[in-house]
Amino acid sequence: MKAIHFRVTFSLLALSLLATFVRAEETRAAAPPSTNTAIVPVSKLEIDGYDWFARHEAVLETKKTLNPEIVLIGDSITHFWSGEPIAKIRNGVEAWKLAFGDKRVLNMGFGWDRTQNILWRIEHGEFDGLHPRFIILNIGTNNFTTTKNAKENTPAEVAEAIGVICDRLRAKSPKSAIIVMGVFPRGQKADNPYRAKISALNALLKPWAAKADVAFVDIGVKMLDADGSIPRDIMRDFCHPSEKGYAIWAEAVKPLIEK
């Protein structure tokens, strides 16, 4: 009788464990997959001092006749440099001339853009038909901000998204050389919370770029004082470069695009 009782107890235990396993598998199957929002294309997210969709249309029109040798892609840091399509704010006109001279350059910088906005713009024609010699990508700082419209991303998520952007661009123009800029420092002092996130992202991008045949250029240290603070004459708001700040960028990319 004891043997029968043992077998019954063991069978019931096995059935209980099996039922638990099945419920766990069903729960996992029903749960939505983890999504990196930085790689999910989306149009305008934030309100800014310009018309996002009008700039999108301006890029589509400009590229028809410009036939750019160089395309810059990014957020407001790129948007506010200079170039076509002409923006209301141009903080680095002289540095633009220093970097690009009389080369044909398309500025696909959009204020407040995150990686996911760039992916949407690529999907909606901004880069179609373009075959520039160089693409300069500077994106990621806005992905570290949480708003009511978008959540903050991790450095690893942003690094993944930058890789996806480069894949999309290379698929459309395989012979274009891609230059990925390290995200510029942000926040006046070295202990600003943005600094650690940006440093972590740039640390991920450097080895990735070496494997992906992408040039990685990190000029952040050139924008800092000895104590790690950002001088106001480099970035007045400690985020967007001044003419002097853009000159540092120009000096870094000029030798690369003249090869």
Residue linked to tokens 């029903």 = 30
**Measured between alpha carbons, how far is 185 from 72 in angstroms, rounded to an integer?**
19
In terms of C-beta density within 10 A (0-12 exposed, 13-18 middle, 19 or more buried), how is residue 188 classed? middle
Q: Do 56 and 121 form a contact (C-beta atoms < 8 A)?
A: yes
Output the pLDDT for position 13.
39
pLDDT mean by block of 10 residues, the chain; 259 residues: 44 41 40 79 96 98 97 98 97 98 98 98 98 98 97 98 98 98 98 98 98 98 98 98 98 95
Find all residues with CB under 8 Å of 107, minimum gap 6, and list them: 72, 78, 79, 81, 82, 83, 84, 85, 87
Q: Residue 113 and residue 117: Cα distance in Å, rounded? A: 6
Determine the Cα–Cα distance for residues 82 and 64; give it in Å rounded to an integer. Answer: 19
**What's the pLDDT score for residue 34?**
61
pLDDT of residue 259: 77
How many angstroms separate the Cα of 259 from the Cα of each of 12, 132, 229, 253? 74, 14, 33, 11
Is residue 37 helix, strand or coil? helix
Burial of 230 (0-12, 13-18, 19+ CB in 10 A): buried
- Residue 135, strand partner residues: 71, 178
Q: What is the pLDDT of residue 246?
A: 98
- Scanning the chain, the segments in alpha helix (DSSP H) are 2-30, 52-66, 76-79, 93-100, 115-123, 155-172, 193-212, 243-257
What are the counts of helices (DSSP H) followed by strands (DSSP E) for the chain? 8, 5
Distance CA 236, CA 241 (A): 7
* Per-residue model confidence (pLDDT) at position 32: 53
